Amino acid sequence: MIFYELYLRSFYDSNEDGLGDLKGLKEKLDYLVELGVDHVWLLPIMKSPAFHGYTVSNFYEVNPVYGNLNDVKEVLSEGHKKGIKFVLDLPINHVAVTSDWFQKALKGEEPYKDWFVWANEKADLNEKRHWDDSKIWQKIGNKYFYGIFGPASPDLYFERKELWQEIKNIFKFWLDAGFDGFRLDAAKHIFDFDTETMRFKYQHEKNVEFWKEMISFIKSIKNEALVISEVWDAPEIVRKYEGIFDIGFNFPIAEDLKTTLKDENTQRFVETLNKCIPEYLPTGKVFSASGNFLTNHDMTRILSDLKSEEKVKLGFSIIYTLPGIPFIYYGEEIGMKGIPIDVNFTEDSQEPFHWYENGFGLGQTEWKGYKFNPPYSGNSYEEQAKDRNSILNIVKNLIKFRKNNSWIDNAKIDILNFDQNVVKLKVYDQLNEIIAYYNLKSSNSSFFLENGTRLLSIGENIIDGKNLKLAPYGVYVVKHK
Ligand code: ACG
């Protein structure tokens, strides 16, 4: 299973309005086939006033800038024919201020007014959320509503059981349209508020109860549907959700791996693997498969972060040789750059997919001017496709390697050895075994090479008898069994 996180607005424009759309995606499915991915995580496409789509104004309507429900059905069915499955991002923790539900609530209409949390005298109107300085109470007219993600997104109040049924109807609606599963946004936030104290407070047990019921409903409609959770937190918190979701994003590995690559520190890499991977193995404690990734739409793009194409290739090589399910964020495969202002203003890491060398042409989306990916910067599909050693061609090789070795999804790992420069890792299951060598340093490095057939070589690596001379940031993988 190889996932591609796709942002429709930035992908491919079929009607020359500058915005990517569903018909555009249909036209470009072959790009995904060429890349080799078999699963798409589609960022929200429901009606929304926001560019990112995470504030939904109607859960049963396609954002008209993207097309209509028929276009959804067509692209999904065409994709299915080409071997691609689609998982829809469904942010159900909150709605848009412009949604009917919230507008009716503002007028005091039943039941909607009770679907939101309104501040009373117990609330501290200056309370901040725990990860940054944003306030959790949002003013509208002379009232305050609870909105953990800011003034554009009133949180739904899930103590109201009828909401649970409403959410099931939404899941059913999109499964019936042909989706193969969901990425469950902000999964730890469904119950993150204590009405007794009127304070922010995660209630993981209640979240677990909620998701169990939703997932058993989803699976009762489509047994093979995939559910992926976004719980952006430390492993001990993720563990509280064990056994519920098919895949859980491994945020710790994304964060630690990037630090490791920046520091070029093998000791830290070993610690990262020990800390972040076993937790998520099928035999580990988390139980959902580890969703392995380097970046997503909330984060600084990988090339802007690591500032070296070779390190980016090494980062992807690590992701594609580790157990779990690899995810790639659109544009990373062509070396696009982007640095969001912060998690509240992320458009700079969601720039138009760069199809053409000069930045413009048929299908090119132009909803946002390029700030980080100007014309002729080398990070367009056109330029990357021509260069044998481009990030694009390396990623394609890695995907091919991974598809030929899909057993790695459920494999185990052992760190065999490491020195100042190189880490040697065994990845294995009952039938298969590979040895991977990663050079974390900017200099060549020699290592004793185990017997076996070469499966992968990234960088100008040289074999001299039993000696493997790894190129700077080079990767070499042999099949051992
Ligand atoms: C999702 C989407 C995001 C979306 C929303 C809201 C949720 O991916 O695009 O925003 O629909 C928190 C939430 C996540 C949320 C991100 C943006 N992502 O939990 O669900 O914010 C800490 C916190 C996390 C927090 C993270 C953010 O614990 O909860 O994520 O910081 O930086 C260690 C710690 C770990 C810590 C990290 C980082 O790993 O263990 O706990 O995480 O360090 O410090 C969209 C838009 C927004 C808009 C909103 C309505 O992008 O602009 O406001 O919609």
Is any ligand 1 atom within 6 A of the Cβ of residue 255? Answer: yes
> What sign has the CA pseudo-torsion 100, 221, 68, 91?
positive
Whether the per-residue pLDDT at 266 is higher than 70: the answer is yes
Report d(CA 475, CA 460) in Å as an integer: 9
Is any ligand 1 atom within 6 A of the Cβ of residue 155? Answer: no
Probe residue for ligand 1, chosen from 232, 233, 239, 240 as the CB with the greatest number of ligand atoms within 8 Å: 232
Whole-Å CA distances, 158 to 91, 195, 267: 14, 11, 45
Model pTM score = 0.97
**Closest to 132 measured CA to CA, from 350, 332, 340:** 340
Is any ligand 1 atom within 6 A of the Cβ of residue 131? Answer: yes
Return the percentage of the chain with pLDDT > 70, whole number. Answer: 98
Q: Which residues of 79-116 are buried (b: 16+ CB within 10 A; e: fewer)?
A: beeeebbbbbbbbbbbbbbbbebbeebbeeeeebeebb
Whether the per-residue pLDDT at 356 is higher than 70: the answer is yes
Could you tell me the pLDDT band of residue 280, with boundaries at 50, 70 and 90? Answer: low
Listed in sequence order, the DSSP H helices in 116-224 are 161-176, 204-221
**Model pLDDT, residue 279:** 63
Going by alpha carbons, the residue nearest to atom 13 of ligand 1 is: 186
Going by alpha carbons, the residue nearest to atom 17 of ligand 1 is: 343
Average pLDDT, the chain: 95
Given the CA of residue 152, which atom of ligand 1 is nearest to it?
A: 50
Is any ligand 1 atom within 6 A of the Cβ of residue 232? Answer: yes
Going by alpha carbons, the residue nearest to atom 44 of ligand 1 is: 131
Whole-number Å distance, alpha carbon 233 to ligand 1 midpoint, is 9
pLDDT digits (tens, 9 = 90+) for 178-211: 999 999 999 999 999 999 999 999 999 999 999 9
Whole-number Å distance, alpha carbon 293 to ligand 1 midpoint, is 16
Listed in sequence order, the DSSP H helices in 60-198 are 69-81, 100-106, 161-176
Is any ligand 1 atom within 6 A of the Cβ of residue 429? Answer: no
Given the CA of residue 230, which atom of ligand 1 is nearest to it?
A: 20
pLDDT digits (tens, 9 = 90+) for 56-108: 999 999 999 999 999 999 999 999 999 999 999 999 999 999 999 999 999 99
Length of the chain: 481
Average pLDDT over residues 394-420: 94
Given the CA of residue 345, which atom of ligand 1 is nearest to it?
A: 52
Residue 298 falls in the annotated catalytic set: no
Task: Specify the DSSP element, H or E, that contains 312.
Answer: helix 309-321
Is any ligand 1 atom within 6 A of the Cβ of residue 52? Answer: yes
Is any ligand 1 atom within 6 A of the Cβ of residue 437? Answer: no
Whole-number Å distance, alpha carbon 185 to ligand 1 midpoint, is 9
Whether the per-residue pLDDT at 241 is higher than 90: the answer is no
Residue 185 falls in the annotated catalytic set: yes
Beta strands in 393-465 (DSSP E): 412-418, 422-428, 433-439, 445-448, 453-458, 462-464
Domains and CATH numbers, the chain: 3-93+161-404 (3.20.20.80), 100-146 (no CATH), 412-479 (2.60.40.1180)
